[in-house]
Amino acid sequence: MDTKMHNISAIELSSLIKTKKLSVVEVVKSYLDLIEKTDRNYNAFVSVSGEMALNRAAILQKQIESGVVLSPLFGVPIAVKDNISTTGIETTCSSKILSGYTPVYNATVVDKLEKAGMIIVGKLNMDEFAMGGSSETGINGPVRNPWDISRVAGGSSGGSAAAVACGEITLSLGSDTGGSIRQPCSFCGVTGIKPTYGSVSRYGLIAYASSLDQIGPIGKNINDCAAMLSIISGPDDKDSTCIINEPFHFRFDDLGDLNGIKIGIPRNYFENGIDKDVKQAVLAAANELESAGAELIEFDMPLMDIMIPAYYVIACAEASSNLSRYDGMKYGYRSPDAKTLNEVYRASRSEGFGLEVKRRIMLGSFVLSSGYYDAFYGKALQARTHIINAYNNLFDRFDMIISPVAPTTAYHIGENIDDPMKMYLGDIYTVSVNLAGLPAVALPCGFDESGLPIGFQLIGRAFSEEKLINAARVYQHRVNWHEYKAEYGEEKEYADSSSRSKLG
């Protein structure tokens, strides 16, 4: 197994494949070997499709030999979150209720990736139905942070971030409903993009909250993520909420500058409840962007007190509706003890759903119930409109906003699982982006005193991905936080949090 190929970016790896310095089969075998030898430490994967991946690699290698090249990521192995449908590969959302469910169709993003010559090697662990912020609530057990396996990887796309951080895969797909791409990226020290709502098809993404969910890429650096976003974005007749007219196109040969770019800094994000190390690292990132030519302008983020309540009322209401289809009748788990139709419904759902999913279904059903709809759900929708309007006003003043992703670094597994309110408050910096349907990029910007990664996010106006990605490229060109990795390998049980090594 050549571990050097696991240290380079996805774009570089594809270049080596296309110039025939590496074969597609050789690359896929190397990643499959590493997953087999190390994933017992991280629990990032829930399934590995080795035979299917190798068969596809052989087909793609023939295309290379015949001169067919389809994308900047041709031949690159990837993995996808377990809530994205894949033909012939079990897709469970890390839930017992969907055990044994194998889709007969691909998600649109999967079709686009395969058309571009990429290879899916497996499905990635997550919080059950993407409900959680630590990747602890799924039936497959917690995802472990590659920097310290006693700590969480973040959620709900914890497996997607951890697999990239430990080198088991170079690119992955996650989904972001209230920060579920950005927060794991921050905890694991990798890069991710939460695209504008409506820019990437949700067809085949098993729904949690339909007006908030968005698929996005996670990778080693912003160029890899941008290349993947250019592939998966674009219109889709199967998804009426996908309103973009054509895929994003990003340039990789010309590094722009930040002259004339105005970046807002919400001062009230840095006042209470944020770790000292996180505050210092994010402010240092802001100063680096200022050194690159940007103008920093402080302001007070409005409506902070309503962001979390509005998000959880809307998300849980939509979840209670979306998850009503899992009844033990059509697919997935059915209780063996049920004798009557009512018992099938009641027992299958009681046994098939985990505690966090049940909690959110019950909350969602309550806020949608007669007598409470206007008082809770209706008010949350009004609050959402105010949040959207507030962001529109802010982007009349700024090109983008910089903020922390999470108030803390990764905490210990089990530390917050019995305190849902504390878990929910950890989303304070991320949920408003989903409520407003905005794009954001998450980037590593340092480490805390325990050696755990810290991340920040850049938030922009809808469909301003190109501007955000350029700012991220400028930042990653000036600093090298994204080049540090957690150590991995079959000889080392896990990466000690004080031990870091650089890519390359």
Domains, the chain, ranges and CATH?
3-252+410-497 (3.90.1300.10)
Q: What integer pLDDT is reported at residue 2 of this predicted model?
A: 59
Whether 116 shows a pLDDT value over 90: the answer reads yes
Structure token pair of residue 123: 């499905």
Please give the residue that has the higher pLDDT: either 251 or 262: 262
Q: What integer pLDDT is reported at residue 4 of this predicted model?
A: 74
Q: What are phi and psi of 46, to 5 degrees?
A: -105, -20
Contact status, residue 21 vs residue 77, Cβ threshold 8 Å? no
Cross-sheet strand order for the sheet of 295-299: 45-48, 119-124, 77-81, 171-175, 215-219, 191-194, 440-447, 453-460, 400-404, 262-266, 295-299
Residue 487 — very low, low, confident or very high, per pLDDT cuts 50/70/90? confident
Q: The pTM is what?
A: 0.95
Rounded (10°) angle between helices 222-232 and 10-18: 70
Q: What integer pLDDT is reported at residue 485 of this predicted model?
A: 87
Contact status, residue 381 vs residue 286, Cβ threshold 8 Å? no
Non-local CB neighbours of 122 within 8 Å, separated by 6+ positions: 35, 45, 46, 47, 48, 49, 53, 79
Asked if omega into 156 is within 30° of 0 (cis), the reply is yes
Q: Give catalytic residues, as residue numbers.
A: 81, 156, 180
Amino acid sitting at position 127: D
Mean pLDDT score of the chain: 94
Q: Please give the Cα distance from 503 to 349 (Å, whole number).
A: 46
Whether 495 shows a pLDDT value over 90: the answer reads no
Percent of all residues in the chain with a pLDDT value above 70, rounded to a whole number:
96
Residue 251 — very low, low, confident or very high, per pLDDT cuts 50/70/90? confident
Contact status, residue 118 vs residue 86, Cβ threshold 8 Å? no
